[in-house]
Structure 1
């Protein structure tokens, strides 16, 4: 194939594919009840997964015991059995026990059944890793070292979190509301590229603090500019607040004006 003269990103092998795995309502099996298991369980509950914990009650730490007592997870009070993997509804298995031989056995059983598994502290026996996560409402930022330096990942995550605006999560919530209403207003598939381009303009047009402060009325007024593909300035948008019904004159071609 002839060279086009275009420059493309260099391939950097050795990484992992970082994705947001949607496990809402799906069954996740956690083997173990200690500190590491507690962290895994919290991650899964935050993602609205249906978590089943297999561990003798005497080995549950206080956090996992709390989850069990408050019916946040399903608890099986015994050690793991191979038959626990016979449930076709299991989406993933997380192993966090202080028994390397048992962990490897469970991993091999998962491989036989093609169930994605994570074996704590054993990177070669992991289909996926848990990174260090910063959470602010809908905002999630994950730092992964591909299992090579979990503590360092935590330090880097904390550094990144300090650089983010304190209200980033709320700004994303507001943008999310705008996207939902825009899709309701322009639902046709062929509108997709235009919706995406307009949303990009909106996201880049206003500072974080101002996006956080947009009200339902502001979002409604902002959507009136979508047909023209334009985005009003903040001053224009604020001037439209509480405009008397029927008094606005707006055709999308130049902005808006308010009648006397």
Structure 2
């Protein structure tokens, strides 16, 4: 008999948006796999150090170093490289060396990803679709990276072309709302009101919303209503509700 709550499906991963801005990430290796990892973590605004002999760098990694997008240590890995590091990614063709690095990371409680060795990974890299602030990741939990890429492309093909811009506008409105209603106890009401906005407005309307539109719309937050965008643009500042205008 099916229970009243969702069934537990073990064997998955906890998919998170890991904030690594200004965190120190060590990449061991400088080949094609390392290049892909570096792009991912630079996009997340991390501080990256690459440890690899110069003759082991591919063109893309060498370019990142030349452009000073990452720091470079021109030698093989040494245990002292882990000092002060928040995350480690290895991408070298030496299974024994990779396993040794993983063991050192476990001792130091540093999250690590050992390329192509799922049992020695604290986390996996999925296939990611990026459109501005929108990120969608598909993970196969290390079972089939190529298949994840195929699924990701199919999902991306079905998304509206302006979805990223709509997300960006919603983010701007949300920040403005927090200034209007900053108190912690306002949290549930803020979430409910923003949900109404997202459900009621089309993506085209969200994309076209100006900052003046947002400020006018925020006048309807206190009474908890969400007028149409046309009504917002026709609204006089003192007509949204009985009381002083909020902006």
TM-score band w.r.t. shorter chain: over 0.9
Deviations along 1:103-159, one digit per CA (max 9) or x if unpaired, are 111111111111110000000110100000000010000000000000000000000
Q: Report what 1:103 is aligned to.
A: 98
3-state secondary structure, aligned to 1:133: strand
Residues 1:192 and 2:187 aligned together: yes
Q: Report what 1:74 is aligned to.
A: 71
Residues 1:252 and 2:241 aligned together: yes
Q: Report what 2:216 is aligned to.
A: 221
Structure 1 residue corresponding to 2:206, chosen from 201, 204, 211: 211
Q: Report what 1:257 is aligned to.
A: none
Q: Report what 1:13 is aligned to.
A: 10
Deviation at 1:58, TM superposition (A): 1.1
TM-score by length of 1: 0.90
Structure 1 residue corresponding to 2:155, chosen from 148, 155, 160: 160
Q: Report what 1:230 is aligned to.
A: 225
Q: How many residues align?
A: 241
- Contact 2:219-2:240 at 8 Å conserved across structures: no
Structure 2: gaps of 5 or more residues: 243-247
Deviation at 1:6, TM superposition (A): 6.9
Q: Report what 2:245 is aligned to.
A: none
Residues 1:63 and 2:60 aligned together: yes
CA-atom RMSD in angstroms:
1.3
3-state secondary structure, aligned to 1:192: helix
> CA separation in 2, counterparts of 1:150 and 1:138?
23
Larger radius of gyration: 1
Residues 1:38 and 2:27 aligned together: no
Q: Report what 2:144 is aligned to.
A: 149
> CA separation in 2, counterparts of 1:221 and 1:114?
49
Deviation at 1:249, TM superposition (A): 4.5
TM-score by length of 2: 0.95
Q: Report what 2:127 is aligned to.
A: 132
3-state secondary structure, aligned to 1:16: coil
